[in-house]
Amino acid sequence: MHLDEPIACVDLETTGGNALHHRIIEVGIVLMDGGAVVEEWSSLVNPGCRIPRGIEEFTGITNGMVADAPDFAALHAEILERLSGRLFVAHNARFDYGFLRNEFRRTGRRFRAPVLCTVKLSRRVDPGVRGHNLDAVMERHGLTCVARHRALGDAQVLAGLLAALRGSRDPGELDAIVAGLVSESRLPPQLDPELADELPEGPGVYRFYGDDDVLLYVGKSNNLRTRVLAHFAGDHRSSKELRLSRQVRRIDWTETAGEFGALLRESRWVKELGPLHNKRLRAAGESWTIRLREAGEGVLAEVAMLDDVGTGDAECYGAFRSARDARKALDELARAHGLCLRCLGLERGDGSCFGFQLGRCRGACCGSEPQALHAARVRLALARIKLRSWPFGGRIGIVERDWRGTEEIHVFDRWRYLGTAGSLDALDGLSAESGFDLDCYRILCRFLERPPPRARLVELG
């Protein structure tokens, strides 16, 4: 596949960003043969629904303008004739391609074509350059647009970009890049080959099912299409990966507004659904911690459930899958740092403890070490695993918004995940669906340490 072949540069304007729910309001197509433009065509499309005001302002296409336009069913044969047998070229190609495939499906027709995304092409030919949206690409290559954010105007820009690259890049190198971007990933014969066209290029969570619809695996990615297809790329690093790829019979997925939401949904799905091949997140249930309480000048330690003590004002150290694991960790730290189990309230008796007689305790139990010093050493020994106190006055929301404008608000209170809402108006119905979850705690801690660029924190009170 190369740029001398028949090409259709395509751009669409739509009522929104979801190909399943929103509709096309304008189509623009520029046809190229041998690197030269041979036809330009565009049409407004009646979407059968109202165009949101924000879309009207962004594109300049109003409800009045499309009122008398043909619907997609009336245009589909004309559009299909122009696209058939050509390389489908678009900016953020999976968006335009996905919308067209859904519109064709509504008419009872199936549409497939080799696809070249000019965003990916721009990144590949200019790997050290920041900015690959259409405005940045136009500026970098000296291109102009007579009608920006209109379908034909933007499609003309794509044709100009391809011509500019043909004139400025080594032909062999450019053809190799295009061929690599267009080539379809090979899928196992038991899967529908159209899967590669359906998978979105955005964040989300996916599920693999085997025979009898048994759930095999749950995964997440910032790019669902790339990650899912990588499972079947043939360069498996382990026999487990190879076995999984051979067992898959069905795949489904859910898109999220960002990576944070994908992490939360993956964690929940693994715990609730118990996929066979997930082990890292599979364990669910109680979480335990080591809690310190003041006792005069000293401190007492106890192993307690995190749901019982919370993590807001309590002095908690570590999160463990069982009470036994927590007690084992405490015993090991006491031994390593010469702490007194009797002073910590973990051993009964009077006078010197058994550890002091063996040289494992520095004598806080019999007055050889001040209680205050012992308490300080206890906290120092546990400092590495101290759980963070809740740093906010109440609930918080992690807000993510994707390129389509879809927003998700992930709500937490005292480290507990309360759920996800699509707007601030929907927050009141959220309440903790479960107790303290160690994985959600870690996901939120990582966010607070290094927030991703497309997410923000809001305090909800």
Tokens found for residue 246? 């051979």
Taking alpha carbons only, the member of 350, 307, 305 closest to residue 325 is 305
Domain layout of the chain by residue ranges: 7-182, 195-273, 288-385, 396-459
Range 7-182 has CATH code 3.30.420.10: yes
Distance CA 227, CA 188 (A): 15
Listing DSSP states for 225-279 in one string gives HHHHHHTTSS--SSHHHHHHHHH--EEEEEE-SSHHHHHHHHHHHHHHH--TT--
Residue whose structure tokens are 């998978």:
199
Annotated catalytic residue, options 149, 236, 277, 337 = 149
**Known catalytic residue at 149:** yes
Say which CATH class 195-273 falls into.
alpha beta
Distance CA 369, CA 363 (A): 5
pTM, 2 dp: 0.62
pLDDT by residue, tens only, the chain of 461 residues: 678 899 999 999 999 887 777 899 999 999 999 999 999 999 999 999 999 999 999 999 999 999 999 999 999 999 999 999 999 999 988 889 989 988 998 898 888 888 999 999 999 998 888 889 899 999 999 999 888 889 999 999 999 999 999 888 888 899 899 988 887 556 777 888 778 777 887 899 999 999 999 999 999 998 888 889 888 865 555 677 778 888 999 999 999 999 999 999 999 999 889 999 887 665 556 788 999 988 889 999 999 887 755 555 568 898 888 899 999 999 999 989 999 989 998 888 887 888 888 888 998 888 899 999 999 999 999 999 998 888 898 899 999 988 667 789 999 988 889 989 887 777 877 765 567 788 888 899 999 999 887 889 999 87
One-letter amino acid identity for 66? V
